A and B are shown apart, each in its own frame.
Chain A
Amino acid sequence: MSRQLAMVAAINEALHVAMAADVNVIVLGEDVVGGGGRQDQGIEEAWGGIMGATKGLIKVFGPERVRDTPISEMGFLGAAVGAAVTGLRPVAELMFIDFIGVSLDPLLNQAAKLRYMFGGKARVPLTVRTSVGAGLRSAAQHSQSLYNLTTAIPGLKTVIPSNPYDAKGLLLAAIRDDDPVIFCEPKSLMFKTGEVPEGDYTVPLGTAAVARPGRDLSLVAFGAMVDVALAAATTLAADGVEAEVLDLRSLEPLDEPAILATLAKTGRLVVVDEAPPRCGIASDVAALCVDAGFDSLNGPVRRVTAPHTPVPFSAVLEDAYRPTAERVVAVARELLG
């Protein structure tokens, strides 16, 4: 039987593989050691990251390469950019993407632009791991899906896995990429298990995957919304509707040919995104379909997104906020007429 791992364990394994393979890979962030590494006090292991994704690294790779930072996102992300441009391959953890507000300049004006501003003479092999998404009752400042923000910045890459296999392969690809990559970890999926091969493999950045083939309509999703789309596809199958689910996996580079290919196959497309609707990935995908796939369209491109509100706390409210399989099914049925 194939080996099953939680996404957090797959991420942990990717970090072990990357650090063992390349001495230039370092890991830094708040609580990534979490107070461990104090053998003299009998505290060899401690948090290893808020979710445990960096557990065990300190024991294998030591305090030089695995560093707790101050709660100082602008400072340590800025330092990570400086380290990347001078020869290290840092993996920084931005505990929640919501904290990008206090740390944007190093990403927006430094990491994203140094290569271009320097006429192509710099490399910025920086990976920023950050958790995204709602569903854990963590309210408006710990639940956002701000990947649309990083995707909108030329010079950055942004990826988001929907399962443990892709999490390990995409993270290894991100760490080995010579550009800054924002690696989004959907927090509601961190403890969900799936098949993960041992050893070293990568999932190339910029390639979408067909998560379920179909011919009647396309459901485009990514991150936690892939499961929502798959559940919707299962419901639709009971009506005899074969929905194709496309998992984007990478938001920049965006696999435009894969989106246009599924649209060409089915003629109808729904895009599901748990971020608010304005200036987001769903709008971007819809615009692509209209711009470059108009002749394939047999109906409007429909978006299923969160509302244009902050993420609420109360379970009832949060559940009403997030896109559900039922909403996707309802929109799909409208589209199919």
Chain B
Amino acid sequence: MEHYRRMRRIRAFEEKLAELVNAGRLAGFLHLYAGEEAVAVGVCAHLGDRDYLASTHRGHGHCIAKGVDVRGMMAELFGRASGICKGKGGSMHIADLDKGMLGANGIVGAGIPLAAGAALTAQVKKTGGVAVAMFGDGASNQGQFHEALNLAAVWKLPAVFVVENNGYGEATPTEFVTPVRDIAVRATAYGIPGVIADGMDFFDVYAKAGEAIARARGGDGPTLLECKTYRYFGHYVGDNLQYRTKAEAERWRAQDPLVLFERRTVADGVMEPGNLRRIDAEVAAEIEAAVAAAEAAPLPAPEDVLRDVYANTGAGR
């Protein structure tokens, strides 16, 4: 039930953002996660607050799955002082360390070594925690990916590297720039398991992420988990999507993660459609309330630009 709620919350959040941008009510670079919900929620279902997650420019879904407060997120996107980062971060830098959320990240691939570092902390301090990096197929061509996997493997860090292969790095099809069909095979180079999951199927992600996270927690080192998925919106809000066909998008939408989840749980008799519709309505109301609160919230003071640069003085100049 909670898993469905989180997936629905991501979907509703992202659809609302698209609507707000198109209506001219919201500014900034927004990269929406809709379509990939099963990955974030399937992985984060195994994580607690002592576990860390490093995210990407397409980070809203990861944040919501990791339990970050949507009101704080929405206020951040509106650049408000009440935003989770006081309006200093915006979409690409939402973070909440208390929730183990190491931040969205505007640099493709940069979250991967950060997660390795969080896993190093867990290993040295013996917290029992694990760290997960989520990143796209594009990031798997970055040096940071290869360097972090090598380091994590040689130190047997409690880390899981989750590549969300959505078929495109910005506009460029993955096969134009990546010589292997399955990114999971790159695990072989580092002597760690490489696993492929159906990223549209919550239960497949949940099972395979569960194994990888248990392995990491048990001291057996990292895993590279590739989730095949699709982003419904373009690279960013405003993308004209000239680089892909409607038929392709339809094929993926036919395997919508929320629909698949509902079909399976209802067929198994563990969920009732009525309950799911009630969740949908609750989530929609929650998102509307977050937007209303964000729009009404005070803006930062201009002098706040100087705060939070350094820890001891706080200020820049």
Contact = CB atoms under 8 A, between A and B. Distances in A.
A310 interface: no
Contacts of A24: 125
A118 B234 CA distance: 26
A116 interface: yes
Interface stretch (A41-49, A76-84, A267-275): A76-84
B118 A86 contact: yes
Interface string B89-111: 10001011100001101110010
B147 interface: yes
A299 to B, nearest CB: 28
B60 to A, nearest CB: 15
A157 interface: yes
A237 to B, nearest CB: 37
A168 B39 CA distance: 48
A118 B120 contact: no
B311 A178 contact: yes
B311 A123 contact: yes
A78 B117 contact: yes
A155 B103 contact: no
A80 B117 contact: yes
A155 B308 CA distance: 9
Interface residues of B, number: 52
B75 to A, nearest CB: 11
A86 B144 CA distance: 19
B151 interface: yes
A69 interface: yes
A68 B103 CA distance: 28
A84 B87 contact: no
A85 B117 contact: yes
Interface string B105-130: 11100101111111111111100000
Nearest to B86: A119
A300 interface: no
A204 to B, nearest CB: 10
Contacts, number: 158
Interface stretch (A6-14, A50-58, A106-114, A258-266): A106-114
B290 interface: no
A291 interface: no
A27 B9 CA distance: 42
Nearest to A88: B121
Given A78-B147, A83-B117, A105-B110, A118 B89 contact: yes
Contacts of A76: 113, 147, 151
A139 interface: no
A249 interface: no
B188 interface: no
A306 to B, nearest CB: 28
A117 interface: yes
A109 B117 contact: no
B113 A82 contact: yes
A84 B107 contact: no
Nearest to B96: A121
Contact of B309 (A75, A79, A88, A115): A115
A236 interface: no
B54 A82 contact: yes
Contacts of A78: 110, 112-114, 116-117, 144, 147-148
A197 interface: no
Contacts of A70: 147, 150-151, 154
A75 B155 CA distance: 13
Nearest to A253: B313
Interface in A119-162: 119-123, 154-155, 157
Contact of A105 (B86, B144, B155, B316): B144
B312 interface: yes
B202 interface: no
A212 interface: no
10 contacts: A74-B143, A82-B119, A88-B121, A117-B95, A118-B103, A119-B83, A121-B95, A121-B96, A122-B95, A253-B313
Interface of B: 52, 54, 83-89, 93, 95-97, 102-103, 105-107, 110, 112-125, 131, 143-144, 146-148, 150-151, 154-155, 307-314, 316
